[in-house]
Amino acid sequence: MKEKKANVLSLSTWERITLINLLGAVQPNLAGFRKGMRALDLLELSPEEKTQVGLQTLAPGRLAWRDVTKEWEIEFSQETLSFIKMVLKAPEAKLPLVRETDVLLKKLGIES
């Protein structure tokens, strides 16, 4: 079996939550669903990670956290990273119009 190359990205809590929201809104076919679930499994914060940054739900769809400088090292397979890029490049992707989005896209190697 051919080993897949892995890619390690350093993502902020905002970037992780943004990717979770964007991937969660995708309506893919069954193959895309499996790829999306693999990506979400890597991105979702564990209870310990939520505690570490003080993540709180203020209201449905509104989150806050204390440690805004925390960076997370997350290892993605090439296939999973390609799926994330495909989702973000899609015309229907609803990317937040904030400066942090440009930083995230640069980390992923996507021209903004």
Q: Is 112 a member of any domain?
A: no
Local confidence pLDDT in tens for the 112 residues of the chain:
454 556 899 999 999 999 998 888 887 777 788 899 999 999 999 999 999 999 999 988 889 999 989 999 999 999 999 999 999 998 888 888 888 899 999 999 898 6
Structural domain boundaries enclosing 68: 6-107
Model-level pTM?
0.80
**Domains held by the chain: number:** 1
For the chain, the maximum distance between any two Cα atoms, rounded to a whole number of angstroms, is 46
Environment class of 38 (CB within 10 Å of its CB; exposed 0-12, middle 13-18, buried 19+): middle
User: What's the CA angle centered on 79, arms 55 and 69, to 5 degrees?
Assistant: 25
Q: Is 25 a member of any domain?
A: yes
Q: Is 27 a member of any domain?
A: yes
